[in-house]
Amino acid sequence: MTDMTSPAGTGPAFAVEMRDVSKVFGETTVLDRISFDIRPGEFVTFLGPSGCGKTTSLRILAGFEQATSGDVRINGQSVSDMPPWHRDIGIVFQSYALFPYMTARDNVGFGLKMRRVPKAEMAKRVEEALKLVGLSGLGDRYPRQLSGGQRQRVALARALVIKPQLLLLDEPLSNLDAKLRNEMRYELKRIQRESGITTVFVTHDQEEAFSLSDRIVLMSKGEIKQAGTSREIWEKPRTGFVADFIGVDNLLPGAVEKDGDELVVRISPSVTLKTEICDFAPGSAVLVAVRAKDVILNPVADETATGLNVFAGNIIDVEYRGERCACRVRCEGIDQTLVALVASSHVPSGAVTLSFASDAVMVLTDDR
Ligand SMILES: Nc1ncnc2c1ncn2[C@@H]1O[C@H](COP(=O)(O)OP(=O)(O)OP(=O)(O)O)[C@@H](O)[C@H]1O
Ligand SMILES: [Mg+2]
């Protein structure tokens, strides 16, 4: 296919294309017809739980693993037969994979040496890269003399220093403490924006994915569940799995019913929920998702409270979450407890009334 390029000399339209890529190990399908494109300069994150196929996808892009079927293109060129060292890729492995017998400095400089970059320039670029990741002064140490977080940063510097056309990062911040992780996140984003290197980042941490990415590819069991910007995924999770993974607190299994002209979701023999949008036919089994922030907690028991999506209940637990607290409430007629957020300065107790607007009720497929 030669029609994948953009008009007149602007280069390929996509830096990376994966078409129906599958990977089978023995009997197990680890990737099941994955398809997506990455535009030049984009920061894309593969997000998903452990074992969903993130590292395998990255290894296929890097050329360390062959797809069982499907096509992978980098800069418009099919790479099925191209070995890793011809792909101009910087990679940070989940396990860092530093050379143990080389100092941090030599590890970082390795790719430049292979590319026969002159010594003086090499030394300069290596020091810059070490500085960038906050390791100035530690260049003479061997990996065994560095902490896990420091090794991770050497690996990051080693990938960045060659200024590759594609940067693949497999959980590169996982071993850093919270403060350093935030700093490195910011640095990584800045470096990526400034250099314009197309980047594929892997993490199972949704907060990290949301804060860094132009686009997120959310995976589960070798399939893409949803791909979109952080905002798109946050505001409109497409399935129950997505809602669950991004941390929507209230997930209630139910069935769609007709109530006059409207569709409602029955979540128990005595309770139905009103919703604005329901794309399912009556009788469908669904999952209702309501964010804790959308649940209004009235700190008084209102016995007269009627109407849809209004429930009398009792607070049974309070979880401190910083500025806010999550109150877990047992409501009449609902098996599961519901979670509502309140300001930590005013945490109620005992009998309360919960309510939420019908447009806060998301009706989704239950694919968890
Ligand atoms: N060489 C292999 N042989 C057999 N199974 C494999 C092999 N490599 C990976 N797998 C399996 O493929 C699945 C996906 O693995 P992968 O490493 O891609 O997951 P991951 O999303 O990166 O998970 P994690 O977040 O734990 O790193 C897992 O079930 C894993 O056990
Ligand atoms: Mg992995």
Write down the pLDDT at residue 3: 46
Q: 3-state class of 281 per DSSP?
A: coil
User: Of 181, 226, 236, which is closest to residue 205 (Cα–Cα)?
Assistant: 181
Interval between CA 55 and ligand 2 midpoint (Å): 4
Name the closest-CA residue to atom 19, ligand 1. 51
DSSP 229-277: -HHHHHH---BHHHHHHTT-SEEEEEEEEEETTEEEEEEETTEEEE-S-
User: Of 342, 339, 367, which is closest to residue 248 (Cα–Cα)?
Assistant: 339
- Please give the model's pTM, rounded to 2 decimal places: 0.87
Name the closest-CA residue to atom 29, ligand 1. 51
- Render pLDDT for 51-109 as a digit per residue (tens, 0 to 9): 999 999 999 999 999 999 999 999 999 998 888 888 889 998 888 889 999 999 999 99
Name the closest-CA residue to atom 17, ligand 1. 55
| Cα 254 from Cα 333, distance rounded (Å) | 13
Using H for helix, E for strand and C for coil, what is the string for 198-238?
EEEEEECCHHHHHHHCCEEEEEECCEEEEEECHHHHHHCCC
Name the one residue in this structure whose structure tokens are 């292979």: 114
Best of 25, 31, 168, 206 for a ligand 1 pocket test (most atoms within 8 Å of beta carbon): 25
User: Of 138, 212, 136, which is closest to residue 171 (Cα–Cα)?
Assistant: 212
Name the closest-CA residue to atom 13, ligand 1. 51
User: Of 249, 235, 221, which is closest to residue 54 (Cα–Cα)?
Assistant: 221
**Ligand 1 atom closest to Cα of residue 46:** 21
Best of 30, 205, 223 for a ligand 1 pocket test (most atoms within 8 Å of beta carbon): 30
pLDDT at 37 over 60: yes
pLDDT at 168 over 60: yes
pLDDT at 140 over 80: yes
Distance in angstroms between the alpha carbons of the first and the last residue of the chain: 37
Interval between CA 204 and ligand 2 midpoint (Å): 9
**Ligand 1 atom closest to Cα of residue 65:** 1
Give the number of C-alpha atoms closer than 13 A to the C-alpha of residue 142, restricted to the C-beta side: 5
User: Of 347, 322, 326, 324, which is closest to residue 337 (Cα–Cα)?
Assistant: 326
271 within 8 A of 265, measured Cβ to Cβ: no
Name the closest-CA residue to atom 5, ligand 1. 25
Interval between CA 94 and ligand 2 midpoint (Å): 6
**Ligand 1 atom closest to Cα of residue 49:** 25
**Percent of the chain surpassing pLDDT 90:** 72
Interval between CA 128 and ligand 2 midpoint (Å): 29
194 within 8 A of 217, measured Cβ to Cβ: no
List, chain by chain if needed, residues with CB within 6 Å of any ligand 1 atom.
Answer: 25, 30, 48, 50-56, 94, 204
Average pLDDT over residues 170-190: 85
Provide the residue type at 173 as one letter.
Answer: L
- Integer CA distances (angstroms), 71 to 2, 88, 110, 227, 250, in order: 14, 19, 31, 19, 40
pLDDT at 268 over 90: yes
**Ligand 1 atom closest to Cα of residue 28:** 5
Interval between CA 93 and ligand 2 midpoint (Å): 9
How would you classify the pairing of strands 351-355 and 296-298?
antiparallel
